[in-house]
Structure 1
Amino acid sequence: MSAPTVDAVRTELTKVLDPEIRRPITELNMVRSVDVAEDGKVVVGVDLTTAGCPLKDTITKDVTDAVSALSGVAGVRVDMGVMSEEQRKELRSQLRGGAAEPEIPFSKPGSLTRVYAITSGKGGVGKSSVTANLAAAMAADGLKVGVLDADIYGFSVPRMMGVEQKPTQVDDMILPPVAHGVKVISIGMFTPHGRPVVWRGPMLHRALQQFLADVFWGDLDVLLLDLPPGTGDIAISVAQMLPGSEILVVTTPQVAAAEVAERAGIIAEQTRQHVVGVVENMSFLEQPDGSRLEIFGSGGGQRVSEQLGQKLGYEVPLLGQVPIEVVLREAGDVGEPVVLREPASASAQALREVGRTLTHRARGLSGRSLGISPVAR
């Protein structure tokens, strides 16, 4: 059996994606060389973005598997190298679409990415759990999804999404880790374990700006932001940097939680954002006999929905009621969202339905370029 041609090997390498950038390594000019010996042994030279790339072994395996599938290949060796400064500069320019300076792609009028800021009035209502599961559910449905953990003080998304590796940095560009098909970034990836983040307003604003502009998000269908509870600096900064973002309010059935959640939604009146709906978490605990135990009371989500609708002047629907389940908590602790780990559970089905409702909503034209120009007559 004759050895494969160099062109045949390069064609196979177009199927190998960079695990972080999610584009073919050939397109990113990471393939330095391809050598094929007469006996069928292949040597592929690959240049990594950084010497300490955490996914070096993954790339090696993917290249080996892809090339080994070719007829006539007797063995594969991957020679790893590191991109030069010039190569990294070209890569950054390519990923930014030729733009010289970092910019927030989601704030452009022509952006087609849906941006949802997930907020709550108080902590402990399961906002991060809702965010992680919505992201995983949307990605499982074939969408390109990113999650920005903007809860600077109480970050928990990395744990819930099972992200352990650090982001890769290509000079001033950050490549976010990917978990369950979702790109994830969090301040928790940059701080020592167990150390608190002690920042005030300007630093919080700058951190959020960097996460939006310096991180290579790629072409996302949906970006979810897990906001800190309340109406503080981060919520205001999100409205300023992402004027087209929409708000999803998370509450529990408890009256006290619902009253506070209303205030988190009313901020939209001042920031001119749209509230897409309300999710009621911890709605009930289903008993063995099929009855429901309403541990935190009932009606909180519906109350928030109605009150926000009256005050904002448009319908703010109650999108879903997520029950209390042990599997939901267990899934978050092990880093595998319940929509993937236990898809038949009641909580998973409720969260998946919320995700599908959000992604199938008709898009408004506010803030978007229509691509037309007035003509004088």
Structure 2
Amino acid sequence: MLEIQAQIVEKPHGPFVKRTLRLGAPRENEVLVRLVATGICHTDLAIAAQYAPFPLPAVLGHEGAGIVEQVGPGVAHVAKGDHVVLTFAACGDCLNCESDHDAYCHEFGKLNLAGHRADGTTPFEEDIAGFFFGQSSFADYAVVNAASLVKVRDDVDLRLLGPLGCGVQTGAGAILNVLKPHPQSVVVVCGVGAVGAAGIMAAKLRSCHTIVAVDRVGSRLDIARQLGASMVVDTSTEDLSAVIDSLGGVDVAFDTTGNPDLIHMLIEKLRSNGTFAFVGGSPRDAKVSVPLPFLVPGRKIMGITEGDSHPATFIPHLVDLYAEGRLPLELISKCYPFDEMENAVNDARSGVTIKPILIF
């Protein structure tokens, strides 16, 4: 047994509490990783509040980056000493996995959101849920599902790479893998959190001339301009509908807010062959309706999970872009010592920090 330090959530809406836990050795198709850093995602906060189901008490965290310490039986794609980014787990065998749509794995829920192995056990000696997104990386060490491990180059600082496993992958992948806007497309990104910010960076990589960033926090909109937004809209003082009308409508609307009223308006503003895409976060009973004839001119409404990415190839690509200075993660990231997790969480909730990262 290895003694580790972990941040756990004990009850719904409860604080993150640092505790010493005992971690077992990796089993078949598992790997022990020493964490260097872990991003804090709003999905972690939603689970902590139990807006989505996951057993508590639990070690959450799903944007880990670290170094392989020990490899369990059956693992061949990483070795001790490798630098890795941790992402969601996928079965690798279903129709979607075989066609490189890992984010839509038929076993996604069992592998990422059950809180335990298939046999009901966790890597902890204590009665605490783990394997959140295959990793539970709010700890200085984690036993990780081998499917969640992506080996990355070792000449890039790991501290900013963890969010590539979820938030950045989700936003960048939505644009680069799915929506693929043309340089002449009018692109509207609503919500300049980590996912929206990554979407703006990706639209810039696609050489889009018109990238509209939408938020209610002025500091985030300032960063959006630095990331490549050609126009920003502060919805606390400006009318987004009127702005979109002045542009003649929207070709690609990417929403990260989950606000049903905003979503309905964006859909109404779609040009012919335009696409509205969102990544969740709406209330469970939220609905949007459109007249069926509205869809005939090629308009599309869709959801996107984890950027519809194949992490084994997409995450190394994102690392290369960061190393080349084309994915400026430093503009959206702020590092916090592991002991200051509550400060990091509060800054995430308030919008002060776009992407808080815990450093071990």
Whether TM exceeds 0.5 here: the answer is no
User: So what's the TM-score if we normalise by structure 1?
Assistant: 0.25
Structure having the larger proportion of residues in strand: 2
User: So what's the TM-score if we normalise by structure 2?
Assistant: 0.26
Rg comparison, structure with higher value = 1
